[in-house]
Structure formats: C-alpha cells, structure tokens
Amino acid sequence: MNQAKPFCRISNKQQGMKAGGHLREQFRENIRGQLRGKVTISKMGHAPHTGARYDRGPEPDYITPHGLKERRPPDLYYEAKKETLIMLYRHTLLTAEQLAISLNYKPKTIYNISCELKEKGLIRTIPLPFLKRNHVGYTLTAFGARAGASLAGDETVFRAKAWEAGPVQIEHFFGTNAFITDVIRHSISHAEEGMLEWLDPRSAAERYVQSKKTGKAAAPVKPDGFGMYLFPDRGRLAFHLEYDTGTETLWRLKDKLFHYGTLLPTIWPKVEAVQVLFVTKIESRPKTIIDIWEALMKGTFKNDRLPSVWAISEKDWKQKGVGGTLWLGSGGQRLRLKDMQLLPTLADPLDPLLGKQPRELPPKTRR
C-alpha cells in the first residue's frame, strides 16, 4: 500500500529565495539580450532607463557578398561587451587603452562597444584631470554594475549604493590598473610569458579573510591588487600591489606592513617567494617604506619567514619600464621583477594569459 508523502510547508524565506533566484536569472537574461542588441522589457513592460514602450520589430535582412538575402547574424560584439562589463565591474575604472590591452581587442573595438554601452546606460565616462590631452576613463553606472555583477556571478553580494556616486579615489584606481596593464603590455612581445591572474582589491582581500574571536570576519590584508605572472620554464611571480599616493601616514604604512608580515607566512608555504610591491607617487617614499620594513624585520618579526617587500617610485617605473626598473628591497638590494624569487610552475593554465586571449577575428573586422 502506497503511503502518502508527508506535506512539506515551504517557508516564506524559502519562497523568497526561490523568487529572488528567478528574478536574478530573469535580469541576467535581460542583460544578455541587451548586449546582443535585442529588445528587453523590464518588469513593468517598459524599456529600461527610458520608460518608453517600444518594439524594434523583426531583424532586417541583409545582402551577403554573393547577393543572397539572409537573416542578420547575431551581434558580433556580444562577447566583447560582456567581457568589458565584467572587467569594469572588477576593476572599477579603466581607460579604453587599458581595456584593449587587458582583453586583447583593438582600441577601435573598445571605443565602438563603449559608445553602445554608454547609450544603454551601462557605463559612463569620468575625466582624468591628472593626465594630459583630456583623457577619460570608463566606469559602470549603478545599473551597469548590477549587470556586471550578474555576469560575474556576484548577484548575492552586489550592493548598488557603492556605485551610485561613482569612484572617489580616481587617481588611485587609475594608477593601480595602469601598473598591471603595463605589465600585461610588456608580456605581449614575450612568447608564453604573461599574466595568469589579476585580482581586484575585493577579491584579493577575500583570500585573507580571518575570523575574529567575536565570530566576525575581517580582512587585515587588503592589497590594491594581486597578480600572478608566468615566466615559462622558470616559475610564477606572485605579487601583492600597493599603489601609494602619499596620503597614508607612516603609522598606517607600518600597520599595513605588519599585517603582511604576520598573515602571509600562515597562508603561503613558500612565503619567501611571495612579493609585496609598493609603487609610490612621491620619489622619497620607497626608502621610507623599506626602512619601516627593515625595522619590523629586526624587531617585531626577528627575521622569521617573511614575504619580500620592494618599492619603486612611479617616475622610475615610467622611465625604465617593466624590464629595466630596479626595485629597492631590504639590505639595499635592487632587483628587476624577473630576478625576484619565483614560485614553482604548475600544470598548463586552463585560462589564456591576459592580453593574449585568442581572438579569431576582431569584431570590427568581421562582415
């Protein structure tokens, strides 16, 4: 005799989670539709941002080179637009040149898709007054940030309020991302060499989240970025980036270095081959930073297993480039990036190196 299955009541919380998941999936599909150039209607049946009801109707036919009438092909910029939104979501502020280098698209491709994303209300431009020739950077609107979070799988942690006013530390974001994209640009002319990984500040900090006695989580180490650079047949350069504009006090610098020296040895088995790189706006700051680090090594840490700390002024970096810059370290050491201690290589990377992603044909050249 078959027994009836017990009645299971679904709680309001479970119903809310289920409904929330459905709405997130619906929003994700709407964003994908917008990126492909299709009409997407909001919950109220209106076009997002404009409030106007509209319908583009059927896609028009076009004439092929052979004179045949065919349906218009799907948007060839779709992947580029999706990658651009995700990159801006993760790294907050990037110029067209930085996007082109990081994603391996031609600058004109980036300009074209940026214009379209701006028209859709997904991105906005921000003047960069510290650069010459009226340069601008791109950042996401609150709506665009939600789209980027959706595409990156971060819907559950996304907070729109942080994006409403736009980034505050513009020069700081630009300098941090300029350093990484300089490294990527350098790698392009070196076969099988390049950036395996580039983490934004939030993702980098999440790697070092610690639980306090109260049970709350805290991230004592919050680098401006984290990179993993591959030197083929030699190893991987793991580095934490700190872009110093000179606004932090010496006490704050000491506290930051203390956390690096305390936490990293508990995370990295071969911590001596893990680098902490300071790029400073003020030319005298590299020596100050290394002096603080040496004092901590001799006093607080007593030369235990520690990461390697290096510093360079931004002026030297720009003049001598990735291959020629000598970084200042403890004991008066001066080394290039390629001569620093490396972690061993792993299996062949699953993802392509940044700046070397395969592109069959740039979208702008396809017909």
Confidence of residue 306 (pLDDT cuts 50, 70, 90): very high
Is the pLDDT higher at 285 or at 69? 285
The predicted pLDDT at position 148 comes to 93
- Name the domain boundary from 150, 168, 186: 168
**207 and 86, same structural domain?**
no
For 225-273, what is each residue's pLDDT tens digit? 999 999 998 999 999 999 999 999 999 999 999 999 999 999 999 999 9
| Number of structural domains the chain divides into | 2
**197 and 108, same structural domain?**
no
Q: At 151, which CATH number?
A: 1.10.10.10
**177 and 163, same structural domain?**
no
The predicted pLDDT at position 327 comes to 98
- Name the domain boundary from 168, 203, 224: 168
Answer yes or no: is 149 within a domain: yes
Confidence of residue 314 (pLDDT cuts 50, 70, 90): very high
353: closest CA among 224, 232, 174, 209? 232
Answer yes or no: is 229 within a domain: yes
DSSP 256-309: HHHHHHHHHHHH-TTGGGEEEEEEESSTTHHHHHHHHHHHHHHTTSTT-S--EE
**231 and 146, same structural domain?**
no
pTM score of the predicted model: 0.80
For 166-198, what is each residue's pLDDT tens digit? 788 899 999 999 999 999 999 999 988 999 999
- Name the domain boundary from 140, 168, 196: 168
Answer yes or no: is 231 within a domain: yes
The predicted pLDDT at position 133 comes to 78
Answer yes or no: is 44 within a domain: yes
For 95-132, what is each residue's pLDDT tens digit? 999 999 999 999 999 999 999 999 999 999 999 998 88
**223 and 164, same structural domain?**
no
The predicted pLDDT at position 29 comes to 66
- How much is the average pLDDT of 344-359? 86
% of the chain residues with pLDDT over 90: 60
**194 and 164, same structural domain?**
no
**154 and 250, same structural domain?**
no
* Of 50-59, 72-81, 257-266, minimum mean pLDDT range: 50-59
**127 and 219, same structural domain?**
no
Tell me which residue range forms the domain holding 89: 17-55+74-168
**139 and 48, same structural domain?**
yes
Q: Please determine, for residue 341, whether its predicted confidence score (pLDDT) is greater than 80.
A: yes
The predicted pLDDT at position 213 comes to 66
**116 and 187, same structural domain?**
no
Q: Please determine, for residue 42, whether its predicted confidence score (pLDDT) is greater than 70.
A: no
Q: Please determine, for residue 39, whether its predicted confidence score (pLDDT) is greater than 50.
A: no
The predicted pLDDT at position 8 comes to 45
CA neighbours closer than 13 Å in the CB half-sphere of residue 353: 23
CA 28 – CA 41 distance, rounded (Å): 12
Element (H, E) at 188: none
The predicted pLDDT at position 76 comes to 63
The predicted pLDDT at position 303 comes to 64
Answer yes or no: is 363 within a domain: no
Q: At 279, which CATH number?
A: 3.40.91
Amino acid at 169: Q
**310 and 220, same structural domain?**
yes
* Of 10-24, 33-47, 133-147, 162-176, minimum mean pLDDT range: 33-47
**155 and 100, same structural domain?**
yes
Mean pLDDT of the chain: 82
Confidence of residue 34 (pLDDT cuts 50, 70, 90): low
